């Protein structure tokens, strides 16, 4: 009887343990699901630019989710929209070029860090002009469309200075980079500072030409990512974003036809145009990104700051050196 009694209690004990384990596992699963439901979404502000193609591929192919980060990609082509959105805490990832950040930080005192360099423009930006305009020097007195405060503005001023001119030597029309390209192709401008696909369209048009492009400007037009405090406080989010980015780059190389369809849809171009556009942009590896942030970005920012001061676009010099944090994405 004693043995039977003991065996009965043993069985009861085992049942109790099993029930407890089931309850614990169930609680942990509900907790995990709850955490997934409340996982923060990180917002990325983009413009329709070929250099951001990997972000579209990573989003559509589920690569961000696979790396454990929820991402909301927002196309924000309206001039100044990304800058104001970041300043008011509506953006977490803000890719742009050093010239744009020189202006941004000259106007506002903000937090945030530059964590990575993504790509270098090698012909994707340029000055397009009527066929009869022979050189940048010939733009004197001409009507030129461009968007103030972004890459197109910097590229225009850089080449004007190289030709012995300044911004005051041309008739400036402030409009979006895409609008400038379209206005030029419609014959409403003598020239435009713009980007792809308008650079390729100008090359193909018998009445226009590309005066100069970003392949002649070295590594001064490079997309870097400024991230919010929410990202700097959670560096795994930064690493997850870049892991997905690099996987998307690999996918574009290994599955070009599928990738081009995704990119074309987001840039609103034909898939056959994507290949040519990608040739004008060089994407950085992680090692190249770290070298650029360490060895080139501070000097490039200083050069831009000096040019913008001379043109009275900013009142005082700006250094981006204290905004750089390459360590955030050191581990993939």
Q: Residues 261-286: pLDDT tens digits?
A: 999 999 999 999 999 999 999 999 99
pLDDT number for residue 29:
57
In a domain, 241, yes or no: yes
159, 257: one domain: no
Question: Residues 75-86: what's their mean pLDDT?
Answer: 89
Check whether 114 has a pLDDT greater than 70.
Answer: yes
What CA–CA distance (Å, rounded) separates 331 from 181?
40
In a domain, 33, yes or no: no
Q: What is the value of pTM for the model shown?
A: 0.82
117, 225: one domain: yes
What is the Rg, in whole angstroms, of the alpha carbon atoms belonging to the chain?
Answer: 26
Domain boundary among 196, 216, 236: 216
Question: Residues 249-256: what's their mean pLDDT?
Answer: 98
What CA–CA distance (Å, rounded) separates 124 from 176?
16
In a domain, 91, yes or no: yes
Asked if residues 277 and 203 have their Cβ atoms less than 8 Å apart, the reply is no
Mean predicted lDDT score pLDDT of the chain: 89
Torsion, Cα 19 25 30 31, to 10 degrees, reads 130
With cut-offs at 50, 70 and 90, classify the pLDDT of residue 30: low
249, 160: one domain: no
Q: Among residues of the chain, what percentage have pLDDT more than 90?
A: 79
210, 255: one domain: no
207, 259: one domain: no
pLDDT number for residue 17:
57
Question: Residues 118-125: what's their mean pLDDT?
Answer: 94
In a domain, 27, yes or no: no
Question: Residues 146-170: what's their mean pLDDT?
Answer: 95
What CA–CA distance (Å, rounded) separates 260 from 267?
10
Sign of CA dihedral 307, 133, 78, 297: negative
Q: Among residues of the chain, what percentage have pLDDT more than 70?
A: 88
At which residue do the structure tokens 């509900």 appear?
A: 30
185, 57: one domain: no
Q: Which residues contact 11 (CB under 8 A, 6 or more apart)?
A: none
What CA–CA distance (Å, rounded) separates 133 from 11?
94
Check whether 332 has a pLDDT greater than 60.
Answer: no
At which residue do the structure tokens 């994405």 appear?
A: 329
Greater confidence (8 vs 236) lies with 236
pLDDT number for residue 327:
87
Beta bridge partners of 143: 171
259, 230: one domain: yes
316, 250: one domain: yes
Instruction: State the residue range of the domain holding 135.
Output: 125-216
Nearest Cα to 158, choosing from 281, 296, 292, 310?
A: 310
Check whether 34 has a pLDDT greater than 50.
Answer: no
What's the number of domains the chain is made of?
2
């Amino acid at each position: 009887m004693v043995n039977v009694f003991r065996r009965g209690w043993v069985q009861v004990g085992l049942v109790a343990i099993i029930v407890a384990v089931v309850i614990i596992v169930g609680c942990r699963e509900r907790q995990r699901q709850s955490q997934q439901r409340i996982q923060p979404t990180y917002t990325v502000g983009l413009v329709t630019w070929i250099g951001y193609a990997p972000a579209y591929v990573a989003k559509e192919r589920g690569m961000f989710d696979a790396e454990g980060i929820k991402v909301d990609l927002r196309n924000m082509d309206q001039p100044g929209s990304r800058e104001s959105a970041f300043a008011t805490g509506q953006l977490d990832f803000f890719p742009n070029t050093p010239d744009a950040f020189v202006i941004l930080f000259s106007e506002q005192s903000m937090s945030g860090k530059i964590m990575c360099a993504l790509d270098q423009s090698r012909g994707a930006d340029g000055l397009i002009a009527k066929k009869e305009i022979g050189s940048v020097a010939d733009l004197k007195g001409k009507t030129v469309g461009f968007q103030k405060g972004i890459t197109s503005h910097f590229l225009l001023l850089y080449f004007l200075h190289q030709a012995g001119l300044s911004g005051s030597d041309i008739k400036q029309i402030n409009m979006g980079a895409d609008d400038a390209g379209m206005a030029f192709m419609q014959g409403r401008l003598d020239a435009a500072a713009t980007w792809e696909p308008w650079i390729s369209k100008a090359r193909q048009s018998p009445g226009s030409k590309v005066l100069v492009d970003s392949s002649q400007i070295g590594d001064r037009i490079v997309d870097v990512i400024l991230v919010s405090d929410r990202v700097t406080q959670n560096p795994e989010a930064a690493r997850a974003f870049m892991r997905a980015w690099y996987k998307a780059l690999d996918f574009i190389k290994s599955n070009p036809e599928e990738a081009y369809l995704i990119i074309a849809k987001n840039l609103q171009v034909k898939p056959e145009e994507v290949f040519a556009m990608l040739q004008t942009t060089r994407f950085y590896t992680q090692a190249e990104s770290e070298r650029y942030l360490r060895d080139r970005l501070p000097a490039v920012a200083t050069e831009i700051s000096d040019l913008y001061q001379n043109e009275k676009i900013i009142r005082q010099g700006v250094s981006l050196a204290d905004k750089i944090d390459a360590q955030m994405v050191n581990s993939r």
